Amino acid sequence: MRHAWMPASPCGPGCLGGQEPTVGTAIRALRLAAVVTVVLLSLVSLLFLPLIGRTGRNRLTRAIFRGVLLAMGVRLVVHGEIPGPGRGALVVNNHTSWLDIVAVNAVRPMRAVAKKDIAGWPVLGWLVTAAGSVYVDRENIRTLPGTVTTLADNLRDGAMVNVTPEGTTWCGLTHGRFRPALFQAAIDGGVPVLPVALTFRLRNGAATTAPAFIGAETIIDSVRRTAAVRGLVLEVHVLDEIAPGRAADRGELARLAERAVDDVLMPAPLPAENHWTSSVVEVAP
């Protein structure tokens, strides 16, 4: 049962345009078969994670997540760079799709704060659990203080942890308010917040809502629809860190991070004479 305090999104099936170019039945089947292969390989790899050290685990985990993108025919484009291991940070992003956690970990494997039902998902659930992620029961607000404490301890110990502060998925053309509760962990842990904006588009540049995981659909429904899209591009925009102490409290910290993501999702028009460049890395299927 949904409580009044739980986040809710107005996005539903009507947000899914359905005008995207699609691949043929044979390619869809090939993509789904490739995802199943990644599932099987990831199951085997979990046996070796305790034996190969942190560097080996990070490389293997990143390879598996990139394998998911490759299997689905998704081109990953990265603007900027997520810092390497050794320094804690709260990484926050807008939440559109099950591909969000795939993209972040394909760039830089890290722990996550995730809703508890993700633990039962194939591939993603196993990998997210193996990465030492923290699960939150969104239907029981009494567990939140304990989650914040655990998260702060992880951040203080040098972990990077990924959080989706909207608390639910949106269609991708816009996003919800960043709820401040989990930002308290960054304050308590004395670590920066690293905003990341995720956008989905087609190779012709048009925005798409096809990968969105919204409404009452299942993860299988979303995977099958995403596998049908031709020329899907997932862009990861790594934005400027928000240093500890810059915000007076968790509410202001959440607003600063949300504003940074807004600037990517809904940028203000620039004068014609202004130009800017960014560091871009493409991972093509």
> For 51-89, what is each residue's pLDDT tens digit?
888 788 888 889 989 999 999 999 999 999 998 777 899
Q: What span, in angstroms and rounded, lies between the C-alpha atoms of 143 and 146?
A: 6
pLDDT at residue 47 above 90? no
Name the residue with higher pLDDT: 233 or 114.
233
For residues 175 and 127, which has the higher predicted lDDT (pLDDT)? 175
Query: Residue 277: pLDDT above 50?
Result: no
Q: For residue 21, with 0-12 CB atoms within 10 Å meaning exposed, 13-18 middle and 19 or more buried, which class applies?
A: middle
What pLDDT, in 10s, does the model give residues 94-144? 999 999 989 999 999 888 887 777 777 666 676 667 666 777 766 666 777
Which residues sit opposite 242 in a β-bridge? Answer: 193
